[in-house]
């Protein structure tokens, strides 16, 4: 069974409590449950985490090298600032999908640049919580394509 690590960056633990017009009404725990159910349906094993700490996210990415088949990451605000997360992801040899709840390109210009996009296999943004399920489908295809070679 493919092992997929889903990482969530700073403040995403507050989902559902504020700014629902941007991020929706679902909590991160709701999204984790949906991912777990969808993961089962498509035959993937999900490890779902959130941290407000850049260093902890880097540690988790480093530990994933060799033990995870794919990474889905919503780096939140670190998307726009973190060379450390970029460098960590560069060392991992598995498919990577960058994910955002909101359409970062329809928001402030400082959100239009991502340090992560250049090394991601793909980017999903603007579909709210449903984006997590889209990302799971996409990464599971990338993982099975990789195993065929």
Q: Annotated active-site positions, please?
A: 23, 100
| Closest CB to ligand CA2 among residues 2, 139 | 139
With contacts defined by CB under 6 A, name the span among 8-16, 31-39, 45-53, 62-70 that binds ligand CA2: 8-16
Nearest to 77 by CA among 36, 23, 137: 23
Q: Select from 4, 6, 7, 15 the one that contacts ligand CA2 (CB under 6 A).
A: 15
DSSP-derived secondary structure letter, 122: E
Asked if 18 is part of the footprint of ligand CA2 (rule: CB under 6 A), the reply reads yes
With contacts defined by CB under 6 A, name the span among 13-21, 43-51, 86-94, 137-145 that binds ligand CA2.
13-21
Task: Tell me if 89 sits within 8 A of 54, measured CB to CB.
Answer: no
| Rounded Cα–Cα distance for residues 38 and 102 (Å) | 21
Sheet holding 122-125, edge to edge: 44-50, 2-8, 70-74, 96-100, 122-125
Say which residue the tokens 């990482």 belong to.
7
Convert residues 76-115 into a mask of x (bound to ligand CA2 by CB under 6 A) and - (unbound): xx-x--------------------xxx-x------x----
Q: Cβ 146 to ligand CA2, closest distance in Å?
A: 26
Between 52 and 81, how does the x/- string for binding to ligand CA2 read (CB under 6 A)?
----------------------x-xx-x--
Q: Of the candidates 63, 48, 56, 93, which has an alpha carbon nearest to the alpha carbon of residue 78?
A: 56
Per CB under 6 A, residues contacting ligand CA2 are 11-12, 14-15, 17-19, 23, 74, 76-77, 79, 100-102, 104, 111
């Amino acid at each position: 069974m493919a092992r997929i690590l889903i990482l969530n960056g700073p403040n995403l633990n507050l989902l559902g409590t504020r700014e629902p017009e941007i991020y929706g009404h679902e909590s991160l725990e709701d999204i984790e449950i949906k991912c777990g159910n969808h993961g089962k349906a498509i035959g993937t094993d999900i490890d779902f985490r959130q941290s407000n700490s850049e260093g902890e996210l880097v540690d988790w990415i480093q530990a994933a090298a060799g033990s995870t088949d794919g990474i889905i990451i919503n780096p939140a605000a670190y998307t726009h600032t973190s060379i450390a997360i970029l460098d960590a992801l560069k060392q991992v040899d598995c498919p990577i999908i960058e994910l955002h709840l909101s359409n970062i390109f329809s928001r402030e210009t400082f959100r239009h640049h991502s340090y992560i996009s250049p090394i991601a296999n793909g980017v999903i943004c603007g579909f709210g919580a449903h984006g997590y399920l889209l990302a799971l489908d996409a990464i599971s295809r990338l993982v099975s394509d990789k195993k065929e070679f």
